[in-house]
Chains A and B, each alone.
Chain A
Amino acid sequence: MTTQALDRPAPRKPIDWWRWAGRVFLTFLLIFTVLPMVWMVLTSIKSQFAALQYPPQWWPAEPTLQNYWRLLDPSNSVGQEFLRYFWNSFYVSLLTTVIGVVVAVPAAYAFSRFRFPGRTFLFFTVLLRNMFPAVVFLMPLFLLMRWLGLVNTHGSLILTYLTFGLPLSIWLLKGFYDNIPIQLEQAARIDGATRFQAFLYIVMPLSTPGIIATSIFSFIGAWNEYVYAYTFLSKQDSMTLPVGIQRFFTEFATDWPGLMAATFMMSVPVVVLFLVLQKYFVRALTEGAVKS
């Protein structure tokens, strides 16, 4: 390095190898990430016959939207089922999200603001829920749901989704509340607000971004959930998308283009939600783990 610098009287900007390595790496990573999705879309606009060819049609010779029409047409049985699953997923995810936020907001606020005995212990008990896999809860929860008479209802899913949604929601929201200066509430209380009014009028509006972030997370989590839905629901018409699409494409020989179209449709809501609210999503993901 030093000799090179001596050889050259006029200092020229050297090639930044690191930067180039980074670009090459990112290009490969992008291909790795995007290619499966591209192939999914390409397959979904092929006919069954065109998909099952070797070597494959790299580009569909006769692109068709027929697979999508079939899924979205309520007049045939496939479309009926698909739309029903879609609605079930939406309804379960939405309720989970709303109830989760309503319950998590006061809890997160308390964990952020109050120093009551047992606070740390309770908080980490809540967090530790994240450490347990869904599968080990399956059986006792299944029995519990049977006892509560909730098997084959969406109530069983909502209740279950709350348990893995809540710890995360509480953790995320606590991070947001931690960042709202306590003096704002103190000022409000001196200005004549009760503790609850201070929370309602001052803290709540300020924590809107946190609530949005938390909602996205719990919605996506519920939308994508598979294990409980797979176990708790056996009736066709109560199934959610991840379980449902599996059912009706493996009954006979797999209709890959149809499956890819369904997979695409299933991914659209979460990807759109993510793209629109990306800022909140990223913030929520990293909240708590990174302290500046």
Chain B
Amino acid sequence: MAEVVLKDVVKNYGAMFAVNNVSFTVADGEFVALVGPSGCGKTTTLNLIAGLIPMSGGDIHIGDRLVNDLDPKDRDIAMVFQNYALYPNKTVFNNLAFPLQMRKLPRAEIDKKVQSAAKVLDITHLLERKPRELSGGQQQRVALGRALVRDPRAFLMDEPLSNLDAKLRVQMRSELKRFHQDLHATVVYVTHDQLEAVTMADKMAVMNGGFLQQYDTPANVFANPINTFVASFVGSPAMSLIPLEVASNGTQTVLQSSEGWELPLSPINARKALAASTKKVVLGARHSTLKLAKSAVPGSVPGKVYTVEPTGDITFAQVFISGAVVNISLEPSVAIRPDEMVFVEFDQERIHLFDGETTMALTL
């Protein structure tokens, strides 16, 4: 296994920049998830690493080699595709054998390696079948097997679980994680599902509009989102964001709503808010840090209940505050009804402030 290094990688089609100056390093044995909404450039980035499309600029290293001009076959990587890309006219055995045949391994060795990969993935009984005779989960395993059968420097995976049904996806997710731990494999994993990224990856690279937004451990991305995009993308339900304006009521710095109310800020938060480029500030809070009150308490703001969704152990409420929808998690015992007027209490220690103009997190 080897590390994968991207430096100032650019891919453009004319004036359209699919990937724009993206740099990050995947350490040897690390599991990195590339996440972002569709069209954010994550799959393009993966294809650039694989060498399936030519780069417009920048450098990519795999291990100690600069691979910019290498063909995919010479990069010594393995890839799992979203639709599995199993060769429909070949049996499972021949699908697994193909990468080895291309490398001109002796027949006996091919046989041995295919058998052992099939054993690991528990698909030995399927070896003589054609891909179309397999279920989605089985196809997924074969695709994984084709990547496993040789010893590549890195695994690239393009949404490998997204074609599976929900239950199977959860099961395969843990299998993939286990597989990564056992092999100490370097994995670059593309997904649009932030939950997959958070649960499986050592680090996640959040992309949007061709730009790398933030590259960090899932915990850090969750705790300190760099901008409103990352804040609203990571976490389920996402962080609630309320656009407000910073103001002073003589003694205190406050956030002011167009609805008339004011939220006083703690001294630290006040300094952050005043550092914004304009008066516009976005207040962010995760559902678990918010409290609901039936009447006004200090540090709370008024809102109107929109929907209440019981999920069993937690009930989620959506509350309109200053025109924004705010998610709050509640004990199932709390009784509220849609259209009820409520007060939402913010924890000054755990709120996030973003510059309303640049969307960047405000920090000290």
CB distance from B4 to the nearest CB of A (A): 14
Q: With A192-B99, A197-B102 in contact, is A187–B85 under 8 Å at CB?
A: yes
A191 touches B73 (CB 8 A): yes
B50 at the interface (CB under 8 A from A): yes
Would you give the 0/1 interface string for A167-189, flagging 1 where the beta carbon is closer than 8 Å to chain B?
Answer: 00000000000000101101111
- How many angstroms from the CA of A192 to the CA of B72 in the assembled complex? 7
Q: With A191-B98, A191-B102, A191-B146 in contact, is A186–B72 under 8 Å at CB?
A: yes
- How many angstroms from the CA of A190 to the CA of B50 in the assembled complex? 7
How many interface residues does A have (CB within 8 Å)? 18
Would you give the 0/1 interface string for B57-79, flagging 1 where the beta carbon is closer than 8 Å to chain A?
Answer: 00000000000000111010111
A191 touches B99 (CB 8 A): yes
Contacting residues of chain B (252-309) with chain A, CB-CB under 8 angstroms = none
| The residue from A184, A192, A205, A206 contacting B102, defined by CB atoms under 8 A apart | A192
Q: With A189-B52, A190-B50 in contact, is A206–B88 under 8 Å at CB?
A: yes
Q: With a CB–CB cut-off of 8 A, which chain B residues contact A183?
A: 81-83, 85
B85 touches A181 (CB 8 A): yes
Contacting residues of chain A (188-216) with chain B, CB-CB under 8 angstroms = 188-195, 197, 201-202, 205-206
B333 at the interface (CB under 8 A from A): no
| The residue from A186, A194, A201, A202 contacting B52, defined by CB atoms under 8 A apart | A186
CB distance from B155 to the nearest CB of A (A): 11
- How many angstroms from the CA of A247 to the CA of B72 in the assembled complex? 61
Q: With a CB–CB cut-off of 8 A, which chain A residues contact B103?
A: 192
| The residue from A181, A184, A193, A206 contacting B73, defined by CB atoms under 8 A apart | A193
How many interface residues does B have (CB within 8 Å)? 24
A186 touches B102 (CB 8 A): no
B83 touches A188 (CB 8 A): no
Chain A: which residue is nearest B76 at the CB level? A192
Contacting residues of chain A (99-134) with chain B, CB-CB under 8 angstroms = none
Q: With a CB–CB cut-off of 8 A, which chain A residues contact B102?
A: 188, 191-193, 197
- How many angstroms from the CA of A188 to the CA of B79 in the assembled complex? 10
B17 at the interface (CB under 8 A from A): no
B87 at the interface (CB under 8 A from A): yes
Contacting residues of chain B (38-61) with chain A, CB-CB under 8 angstroms = 47, 50-52
Chain B: which residue is nearest A187 at the CB level? B85
- How many angstroms from the CA of A186 to the CA of B83 in the assembled complex? 12
Q: With A186-B50, A197-B102, A205-B89 in contact, is A192–B73 under 8 Å at CB?
A: yes
- How many angstroms from the CA of A181 to the CA of B82 in the assembled complex? 12
B88 touches A186 (CB 8 A): no
- How many angstroms from the CA of A195 to the CA of B74 in the assembled complex? 12
- How many angstroms from the CA of A205 to the CA of B99 in the assembled complex? 18
B83 touches A181 (CB 8 A): yes
Q: With a CB–CB cut-off of 8 A, which chain B residues contact A187?
A: 79, 81, 85, 87, 146
| The residue from A184, A188, A190 contacting B77, defined by CB atoms under 8 A apart | A190
Q: With a CB–CB cut-off of 8 A, which chain B residues contact A189?
A: 51-52, 71-73
A194 touches B87 (CB 8 A): no
CB distance from B364 to the nearest CB of A (A): 46
Q: With A181-B83, A183-B85 in contact, is A188–B50 under 8 Å at CB?
A: no
Q: With a CB–CB cut-off of 8 A, which chain B residues contact A192?
A: 73, 99, 102-103
A186 touches B89 (CB 8 A): no
- How many angstroms from the CA of A188 to the CA of B75 in the assembled complex? 13
B83 touches A202 (CB 8 A): no
CB distance from B359 to the nearest CB of A (A): 34
CB distance from A40 to the nearest CB of B (A): 43
Q: With a CB–CB cut-off of 8 A, which chain A residues contact B85?
A: 181, 183-184, 186-187
CB distance from A240 to the nearest CB of B (A): 38
- How many angstroms from the CA of A189 to the CA of B79 in the assembled complex? 10
Contacting residues of chain A (217-242) with chain B, CB-CB under 8 angstroms = none
CB distance from B177 to the nearest CB of A (A): 23
- Interface centre among A187, A195, A206, by most chain B C-beta atoms within 10 angstroms, is A187
Would you give the 0/1 interface string for B89-108, flagging 1 where the beta carbon is closer than 8 Å to chain A?
Answer: 10000000011001100000
CB distance from A13 to the nearest CB of B (A): 40
Q: With A186-B52, A194-B71 in contact, is A206–B146 under 8 Å at CB?
A: no
Chain B: which residue is nearest A183 at the CB level? B85
Q: With a CB–CB cut-off of 8 A, which chain B residues contact A201?
A: 98
Chain B: which residue is nearest A193 at the CB level? B102
B79 touches A190 (CB 8 A): yes
Q: Supply 7 further A-B pairs (C-beta < 8 A) apart from A181-B85, A183-B85, A187-B146.
A: A181-B83, A184-B88, A186-B52, A188-B98, A189-B52, A190-B156, A191-B99
A-B contact pairs, 9 of them (CB 8 A): A181-B83, A186-B81, A187-B146, A190-B73, A190-B156, A191-B73, A191-B146, A192-B103, A194-B71
7 smallest beta-carbon distances between A and B, as pairs: A192-B102, A191-B99, A183-B85, A187-B85, A189-B72, A192-B73, A183-B81
Chain A residues near B (Cβ < 8 Å): 181, 183-184, 186-195, 197, 201-202, 205-206
